[in-house]
Amino acid sequence: MRLHDLLAELPEIEHGGLPDGDVSGVTADSRQVSPGAVFVAIPGLTVDGSSYLPDAAARGAILLVGEGPDPASGVPYRQVADARWKLAHLAAAWHGYPARRLVMIGVTGTDGKTTTCNLIYAILRAAGLRAGLISTVNAVIGDRVLDTGFHVTTPEALEVQGYLAQMVQAGLTHCVLEATSHGLAQHRVAACDFDLGVVTNITHEHLDYHGSYEAYRQAKGRLFASLSDSAPKPQPVTRTAILNRDDDSYAYLAAQARVRQVGYSLTHTSDVYAQDVAHAPDGLAFEVVGAGYRQPIRSGLRGDFNVANILAAFATAVEGLGIAPKTAAEGIAALSAVPGRMESIDLGQPFAALVDFAHTPNALRRALEAARTMTSGRVIAVFGAAGLRDREKRRLMAEVSAELADLTILTAEDPRTESLDAILAEMAAGAAARGGIEGHTFWRIPDRGQAIRFGLAQARAGDIVLACGKGHEQSMCFGEIEHPWDDRVAMRAALSDLLCIPGPAMPGLPTQR
């Protein structure tokens, strides 16, 4: 691609006076610069990308882009107001604007995003549509499943546009993309030209980054505000916002979305709503009611929160894309589980052992409430709170567990460079404030493997042991080092030891003795 062609649809980057040479790529990593590359200097929280402009110039960059003044490196430079936004649009241009050839479905929210994305994807597949998926767990492109990282959020813009280009090349027509608040605030999903925007809920999360609930909600709102600005596409899709009528975010997001709106609800008569919800150990059964239909739903997923996720996916498919209600129900039934989401670990023990990603106060509450519907026995919760993240969550999550679980084990969850003992002390104070008694109803066990072993050892027939906070994740951070860790492997290791049967070894952490 020639440089002037790359910049043709980016009038914010003036290409007058620039040499029209061949472009070898677009990158924000100076180590990946090859002769002819466009390098974008991204300001970071700890490192400013502008410090790498000289290195990019020395490696043969054809154009440098950044927010600061011209570094006078001898390479053409363009100063911009928002380097991340420009990076996303440059990446889209480099790949030929792939989102403009796909029906783009963006899913955001605090909890339930990954499950809702997988439900929508399952429905699209049931409808015979060639669909791809980009979630915080993986990217699915045809028969290929690609890992999207350790501690997961929306991939960077260069990766997102690369995945979309691969989907177009593979002949796909639809893409479901999980849009986190970081991904939206940092423009990682800019230039994705969304056709449908979906929200699950907006509750307390990531305030360490966004600063306030209002700023966090505003980041989520960008998805819905962008719907009316998407480029025209060959496929006739009516731009639509799928909104949760039961959530406090409804009025705010409805004002942001200047397109058609569809509401879904567990508790109100809405465009799409649930009736006669029945919970069972093996899943859910209910009816979805909409204009002109009453569709029975059966799902292997559990909990009221998954009724809401199913409604969001159903509304997206039926009301947003015109898929038949019966087909949507078939897709929902086909998805029996989502990795690390209320995932059952069964080695023949007389109680239930589950792993869930719940790492916010609201998600933990909903997971514990779901566990209550699955058993008449006790609920035993094992979880922690991350270091260098929203501190208020530590107290709130411990309070929730003290109220809703019978036994609580507080343990490590990515302490990073913070003191694990200090994190656990904050959580213990929250549990005690809600009537918890240390050593009787709650415990502090720093090593996560030992905490899971302890929780399982307390379980009696008919109980549920629920390990929350890590879900599908494959590592845990101590200091600045990522240590291999998977809660599901740890649960199997602890269960196999408890049952005296062969099983995997318990993963090791720095806290292990």
> How many angstroms separate the Cα of 308 from the Cα of each of 111, 219, 263, 362, 404?
11, 22, 11, 14, 21
Name the amino acid, one letter, at 154: T
Q: Is the pLDDT reported for residue 152 higher than 60?
A: no
Pairing of the two strands 131-134 and 442-444: unpaired
The two structure tokens encoding residue 319: 């009301």
Burial class (CB in 10 A: 0-12, 13-18, 19+), 95: buried
* Extents of the domains making up the chain: 3-93, 97-334, 343-499
Please provide the DSSP assignment of 361-423 as one string: HHHHHHHHHHHHHH-SS-EEEEE---TTS-THHHHHHHHHHHHH-SEEEE--S--BTS-HHHH
pLDDT tens digits, 224-241: 999 999 999 988 899 999
Pairing of the two strands 272-280 and 283-290: antiparallel
Pairing of the two strands 464-468 and 442-444: unpaired
* Residue 196 phi, psi (nearest 5): -130, 135
Task: Give the pTM.
Answer: 0.85
> Given pLDDT bands bounded at 50, 70 and 90, which one contains residue 192?
very high
Name the amino acid, one letter, at 275: Q
Domain 343-499 has CATH 3.40.50.1820: no
pLDDT tens digits, 387-443: 998 899 999 999 999 999 999 999 999 999 999 999 999 999 999 999 999 999 999
Give the SS3 label for residue 56: helix
> Given pLDDT bands bounded at 50, 70 and 90, which one contains residue 149?
low
Q: Is the pLDDT reported for residue 210 higher than 70?
A: no
Pick the CATH number of 97-334 from 3.40.50.1100, 3.40.50.880, 1.10.1130.10, 3.40.1190.10: 3.40.1190.10
> Given pLDDT bands bounded at 50, 70 and 90, which one contains residue 45?
low
3-93: what fold? 3.40.1390
| Residue 156 · residue 148 · CB < 8 Å | no
> How many angstroms separate the Cα of 81 from the Cα of each of 47, 94, 241?
18, 20, 29
Helix ranges restricted to H, 389-508: 392-404, 420-433, 448-458, 487-499
Place of tokens 């995003």: 113
> Given pLDDT bands bounded at 50, 70 and 90, which one contains residue 218?
confident
